Structure 1
Amino acid sequence: MKDYILYSVEDFVSDESYLRYYFREEVAAIQFWAEWIQQHPEKLDIIISANNYIDAFAIRLPEPEFEQEQQRFTEALQALSPESTGTSHNNSNRTISYQTTHSQHLNILRTKLIAIAVILLLVAGTLVYVLKKREAFSQAVPAPTSLHDSAEVQLHTDNINQQSF
């Protein structure tokens, strides 16, 4: 069993069980997560953040628009079927069903959107990390440098005067 106590926002956003709870798709998931959240109020901030991310990246089409797009998709697939192109396959084991249910289509779409969200979070985190490192490097105090005559000097690169000869 997974240790949900250790979960971060990204973990909740990418967990299929939690997504089934969030989108109210499975009674068992709804019951489990409602009880788990009630038992772990210390994770409420992370849960709320995860819900905000899921909500921001979830695309919800109105039912008529979804049905229209599904019909267009089905028609396009039928146009590509062997019967419409004049070729036939006698092997009944190779019959392909192109019917996709509404929930299957939404699950695929959600998975893709969540993957995009996670990638965006990783890219943003990497960018912040690199910028922080660059800032820390630029603010670093240079170490003294010893010259061949045993004199020590400290170079300051922020006030370099360039002269042309």
Structure 2
Amino acid sequence: MLKDSFSNSELSEIDVSSQKVKIVNVICPICKSKKDITVPVSIINQTGLTTVSIPKDLVCKHHFQVFIDKQFKVRGYQKVDLDLALNKNKEANIDNFNKSNDDLFENLILEGNYLEYKPKKVKNIHMNSEPEKIVSNEEKVMTLKEIYEEFWEFIDDDNSEFKEFIIKDKKRRQGLKSRN
């Protein structure tokens, strides 16, 4: 659902942690909610028209896309019909909601078309719980019989290493009879 007519909003440029960003006013194409979002200048300048995915709860409860040209004008919107998101733990840390824009932008990772928010200060929400135990992979020595029992279906009938087990194996003999 691409729309052609949009109001031109006043843009302001901000320098956030040595990255220039511009503020663009976006409108949800479904519920018409409005919000100013910051967009990195370097990303928009790479192409003639940039598609920006607006996830749920950034502007409203809808996931949609906004098309922004090199002059930072919104040229269209498109609703997202299907969102194939990874199942992530939805526990929110209340501390993140009280941060200033400077604190939030400081934790943005921007490389090419890749944008990620990664807080530098991670608060352990399980401070009172027992720390995870590190289990080392102790090398278990398996006998030839154990190896055969574990992997018998992958071992060739004429394998000399496992010949004595192949001869005694009832499962394998039944399989050989059914093939003939």
Flag whether TM exceeds 0.5 (same fold). Answer: no
Larger fraction in strand:
2
Larger fraction in helix:
1
What range describes the TM-score normalised by the shorter chain of this pair?
under 0.3
**Highest RCO, 1 vs 2 (Cα 8 Å, sep ≥ 6):** 1
